[in-house]
Amino acid sequence: MKVKIIMNPSSGKQIIQKNLEKIVGRLILDGVVKYVDVFKTEKRFDAFEEVKNIQENEYDCMIAVGGDGTVNEVINGVMVGENKIPVAILPAGTVNDFGNFLNLPTDVQGFCNMIKKNQKKKVDVGKVGDRYFINVLAGGLLTDVGYKVSSDFKTILGKYAYYVEGMKEIPKQMLKSINIEIDSEEFKGKEDIFMFIITNTPSVGGFKKIAPMAKVDDGLLDVCIIKKSDIAEFISLFLKIMKGQYIHHPKVLYIQTSKIMLNCQNDMNVDLDIDGEQGEKLPTTIEVIKKGMEIIVP
């Protein structure tokens, strides 16, 4: 097997990266891997540029070592470059929503076994404008928390750094609602909302059941829209959201769709968060590419 490793050395608490040498050594000794190239990212979009230029038959497998941001760039590189090489993920980030959802191993033995078995799963990929996402696209309340947390704070506290920042932001952001226009086959209308989350898997922001009905290969995106409410109602709803017990709540609109258009009515700047990284702004159309790529799974 010819393998290309794309590694973000700065992701997460920088612990899992240390397993990588052992993983590569084991795979070579066992004769599973014959040739390895390692590419270490230095900044945003390095992984995307590297993967985009890889040719179809250059490698049998790519291993993305990093957080959701690195995985997103590798997936974008595969989709834009059309090289169709299956991707294995060694989750090394702070949150790792996609890796956690697929129960991907981070230990040497578990990861080597997964590569040896080489079992592939076709998964859906979300598309927004000319960018792709594998896990989640979000906008509105708290979706910018990720960019406000420093890398050092994440290295020390891991995902709790996001929660600490989130608690600080709730009172500041509470009054900001977005008057949004929604256009999909399943629902058309205007709503005053706090936030929207469009997801491919149930796991978002470290919470495992945010979209309880989401499946990674059903050709549908799960759209969770939280309507404007007062603070007390929002906090009680937030606790329900974390447990995944909220989809019939009167302040929630939950849609499963393959394509949705979102536009904001007032002159607000609504940034989109794409797999935890800052993306374009509304208006936009989001669609799914059913079973758009292959992931190596345990």
Active site residues: 277
Taking the complex as a whole, the smallest distance from the CB of residue 287 to ligand ATP amounts, in Å, to 23
Structure tokens belonging to residue 131: 């960018």
Q: Which is nearer to ligand ATP, 43 or 172 (CB)?
A: 43
Is position 11 an interface residue for ligand ATP (rule: CB under 6 A)?
yes
Residue keyed to tokens 């007032």: 266
User: Of 73-92, which residues contact ligand ATP (CB under 6 A)?
Assistant: 73
List CB contacts of 206: < 8 A, sequence separation 6 or more.
95, 97, 100, 159, 162, 163
What is the pattern of x (binds ligand ATP, CB under 6 A) and - over residues 91-130?
--xxxx----------------------------------
Whole-angstrom distance between the N-terminal and C-terminal Cα of the chain? 17
Question: Quick one: which of 85, 94, 72, 119 has its CA closest to 2?
Answer: 85
The DSSP code sequence of 139-154 is EETTTTHHHHS-HHHH
Give the residue closest to ligand ATP by C-beta: 67
Q: Which is nearer to ligand ATP, 42 or 267 (CB)?
A: 42
Taking the complex as a whole, the smallest distance from the CB of residue 77 to ligand ATP amounts, in Å, to 12
Is position 203 an interface residue for ligand ATP (rule: CB under 6 A)?
no
DSSP 201: S
Taking the complex as a whole, the smallest distance from the CB of residue 181 to ligand ATP amounts, in Å, to 30
Structure tokens belonging to residue 143: 């979706």
Sole binder of ligand ATP in the list 3, 4, 6, 10 (CB under 6 A): 10
Sole binder of ligand ATP in the list 5, 6, 12, 210 (CB under 6 A): 12
Residue 200: CB atoms within 10 A of its CB come to 29
**How many residues are recorded in the chain?**
298
Is position 199 an interface residue for ligand ATP (rule: CB under 6 A)?
no
Residue 43: CB atoms within 10 A of its CB come to 8
CA angle (151 as vertex; 170, 15 as ends), nearest 5: 120
Which range binds ligand ATP by CB under 6 A, 62-70, 109-117, 171-179, 192-200? 62-70
Residues that bind ligand ATP in the complex, under the rule CB under 6 A:
8-12, 41-44, 46, 66-70, 73, 93-96, 154, 276-277
